Structure 1
Amino acid sequence: MPTLSDKKAIVEEITKELEAANGLYITNYKGMSVGNMADLRTEFRKGDVRYKVYKNTMIKRAMEAIGGYDELYPYLNEQNGFAFVEEEFAAPAKVLKQYIKDNNKPEFKAAIIDGEFYGEGQLDALAAMKSKNEVIGDIIGLLLSPISNVVSGLQAQGETIAGAVKTIAEKGEE
């Protein structure tokens, strides 16, 4: 049986995990075998996600110490596993969606991503989220598209300014 100092150390460990994470998923692993849990952890590791099992009271104490997790408190019952997310917000959702499709477990309960709450029915929406790198790529593509129109316009007609302006105007109409 853990002593009070052991419990404080566990709460401190969880607090550090939560502070380092930008998101937290809660799953109910009730009815899963040890082998299934090992498989699920392996899948999470492939997606660079830390998945741990803590007592609900311990994680709640850590959440209360940090703040901002109030919406997750009602989900801190039964047998929960916690996926801590640093970068790729959709990674745990993609792993869970596939694993649930193949095994019918665990149950996705809720998540908080960058301070936003996602409930039970929103796993598909979380799995469809773009990664930060994909969003940055989209933004860069949007920023570069006007420049590429100008460059292609200058190259297309090349010799005359009037031809270049005409090509740029045509590109703008598309």
Structure 2
Amino acid sequence: MPLTKAQKQEALGAIEETLDGANTVYLTDYQGLTVEQATGLRRAFREADVQYKVLKNTLLRRAMEKRGGFDELFDELNGPTAVAFTNDPAGPAKVLKKFLEDNNLEVPRFKGAYIDGAIYSGGSLDELAKLKSKDELLGDILGLLMAPITNVASALGAQGSGLASVIQQISEKEEA
């Protein structure tokens, strides 16, 4: 049953709101998944804190046109399209890649992605899945920042203990 004009406006508003809240958008073609597989995929996305929705291409296109920056993805808005929204650029790629490997499937097919203003084509799934999450990057940065401090502290501690043992040996020699 077709949507009424009011329903379309409401759906368009919801899509625009979701686009405004996410800096990462993945497009997939889910055609060929069984209900059980689709449910498993949705669960995997939900566990990764990714919104995964099946949307009408025309409504998604209108919302993307209003927001701007998605022009290169418009060619992919044909056929069945499910969209993953998140703020973790690598999250959806990791979920998709794991799902495809675990289930030995070729669907859902990755169509493309928008990540912080950059567009990635359908062949970029492997590269996107290798990206580190924001938390992993912050951990790496903190580790790099802490390494010099830890090295200095351990070096000072080692020299201090060495100095203390030398002083102790000298004092023992003087007593003898």
Q: Is TM more than 0.5 here?
A: yes
Structure 1 spans left out of the alignment, 5+ residues:
164-174
Amino acid at match of 1:14: I
Give me the whole-angstrom Cα distance separating, in 2, the residues matched to 1:136 and 1:34.
38
8 Å CA contact 1:99, 1:105 repeated in 2: no
Q: 1:117: which partner in 2?
A: 119
Give me the whole-angstrom Cα distance separating, in 2, the residues matched to 1:140 and 1:50.
29
Amino acid at match of 2:121: G
8 Å CA contact 1:100, 1:107 repeated in 2: no
Give me the whole-angstrom Cα distance separating, in 1, the residues matched to 2:132 and 2:106.
25
Structure 2 spans left out of the alignment, 5+ residues:
167-176
Q: 1:97: which partner in 2?
A: 97
Q: Displaced runs of 4+ in structure 1, greater than 3 A?
A: none
Deviation at 1:133, TM superposition (A): 0.9
Give me the whole-angstrom Cα distance separating, in 1, the residues matched to 2:33 and 2:149.
54
Deviations 1:6-28 (A, max 9, x none): 11111100000100011000001
Amino acid at match of 1:92: P
Q: 1:31: which partner in 2?
A: 32
SS in 2 for 1:48: coil
- Choose 1 or 2 for highest CA Rg: 2
Deviations 1:43-95 (A, max 9, x none): 11111111000110000000011111112111111111000012x32121111
Give me the whole-angstrom Cα distance separating, in 1, the residues matched to 2:66 and 2:29.
23
Number of corresponding residues? 160
Give me the whole-angstrom Cα distance separating, in 1, the residues matched to 2:66 and 2:19.
10
SS in 2 for 1:79: coil
Please, what TM-score do these two structures have when normalized by structure 2?
Answer: 0.85
Give me the whole-angstrom Cα distance separating, in 1, the residues matched to 2:98 and 2:139.
26
Task: After superposing the two structures, state which structure 1 stretch, 33-42 or 106-115, moved more.
Answer: 33-42
Give me the whole-angstrom Cα distance separating, in 2, the residues matched to 1:6 and 1:73.
23
Deviation at 1:100, TM superposition (A): 1.8
The answer to whether 1:142 aligns with 2:114 is: no
Amino acid at match of 1:131: S
Deviations 1:83-119 (A, max 9, x none): 0012x32121111112222222110110111112111
Give me the whole-angstrom Cα distance separating, in 1, the residues matched to 2:146 and 2:37.
47
Amino acid at match of 1:37: A
Q: 1:131: which partner in 2?
A: 133
Task: After superposing the two structures, state which structure 1 stretch, 96-105 or 130-139, moved more.
Answer: 96-105
Give me the whole-angstrom Cα distance separating, in 1, the residues matched to 2:94 and 2:78.
24
The answer to whether 1:153 aligns with 2:161 is: no
Give me the whole-angstrom Cα distance separating, in 1, the residues matched to 2:150 and 2:36.
53
